[in-house]
Amino acid sequence: MNKGARIPFAATLLLALCLFCASSALAQCGGHAAEPANATHMNPDSARLDNPSEQPPCARKRPHAAAGLDPVRRIELLAKTAPRPAGMGGAFTAVADDPIGMWWNPSAAMFGQRLAISGNHSMRHFPHGRKNLDQFDSDTMGATIPLSGGHMLGLGMTVPGEWGVDYADTNGVLQPADCARKCAKHKADGAAPCPLEMPERVRGRERRLALGNYRNFNNGNGLAATEIASNWYRKEHLGKDRIQREFQPGAGFSVYYQGNNGFRYGAALRLKKRQRPDEPVKKQTLVDLTLGVAWRDTPQSDTLAALDLQLLTTTALERAQWRYFGGVERGWDDDVFARAGLMNGRFTYGAGAAFGDLRLDYAVVRDLLPDVAGQNPGRFSDGHFLSYTLTD
């Protein structure tokens, strides 16, 4: 675009940002119904009675396979659900020139040297009475901004003013509604204290700032970037006057390289210091290492394939967890797109359409809610996501 077109384009970006924030706030208000005073939410994961016959029936419900994972680590999957990447199974570390890639690999996101912005919003907000988690959010944004001297500034954030990634169960769908009554009777009969606890509501917010072209190498075919990040998480134990806060300041380094044979390579390393001021536990340094490869025969090819491998661990190499992501994108005349993939074992699919400088994308991640909540929330277990992208 020429210089004369940059001012209206920047104004369009600002307007899109304001509209996105406003729509997210309205969706939040519509999806957060007040919780009745007698609402109950019981979690079977902590049931430990020696005699199964003494447990309330709801305590014997089999938990989801993800129940044993750290709740904060579970909701980090929501950062992988921007619709274009999610449609490809969340594999985006080696995919370049898309601002939402700030959540995967800042170097790849800023490689196109363009002014661009992208935002995504989850489409699962159920009022009280619907048999599902009534709040399930992933509202994130990415932006790339050209600077002087060929440098780039990248921003990755949850929607300003909102908790961008979270889930809550305020209508009691994770456990039968009569759990509390059975648990109270269990205790009144003189048995062991009730083993059930209220489930957690986990909320997260993140800000990332990255500087690209910090080291431009191999005649412009590669780019590296450094970043700093500040993350906030809050775990609320519903029904109890207890909130656990967690802060994760950190930094990262990422690289992207584009070969001449159609292959692209990306890597991102992030270190985050885990701090819980409400608990007397020692600080812990989290390690997030992601390696990615993508293939597109030529820049004009209609087919893009990508594969990511992510390691989540600590500097002490304890509690290591591997995640894998892979998928393909097929385009027609750069106007219409279809996508499919696997997100750590979960099937995903999506579609997109471009209208000049605007691209709209939609994606579905099958059975995502049980992975995030640690329990199966019922019939609506898929994640649905919608996004916009504006490019210069």
Q: How far apart (Å, rounded) are the C-alpha atoms in residues 338 and 241? A: 47
Which tokens go with 329?
A: 């994108």
Q: How far apart (Å, rounded) are the C-alpha atoms in residues 11 and 384? A: 29
Enter the DSSP assignment of 8. Answer: H
Q: Per residue in 272-324, pLDDT tens?
A: 998 887 776 667 899 999 999 999 998 889 999 999 999 999 888 877 889 99
* Length of the chain (residues): 392
Q: Dihedral sign, CA of 130, 134, 136, 140?
A: positive
pLDDT for 160 equals 65
Burial of 241 (0-12, 13-18, 19+ CB in 10 A): exposed
pLDDT (average), residues 177-205:
59
DSSP 337-385: EEEEEEETTEEEEEEEEEETTEEEEEEEETTHHHHHHSS---S---EEE
Are 116 and 77 contacting, i.e. CB atoms less than 8 angstroms apart?
A: no
- Give the chain's mean pLDDT: 78
pLDDT for 47 equals 33
Report how far apart, in Å, the C-alpha atoms of 27 and of each of 21, 23, 137, 139, 142 are: 10, 6, 10, 11, 20
Q: What is the CA radius of gyration of the chain?
A: 22
Going by C-alpha positions, the residue among 132, 372, 125, 104 that lies closest to residue 264 is 104
pLDDT for 31 equals 36
Q: Per residue in 112-147, pLDDT tens?
A: 889 999 999 998 777 777 778 878 888 999 999 998
Domains and CATH numbers, the chain: 3-37+69-167+206-391 (2.40.160.40)
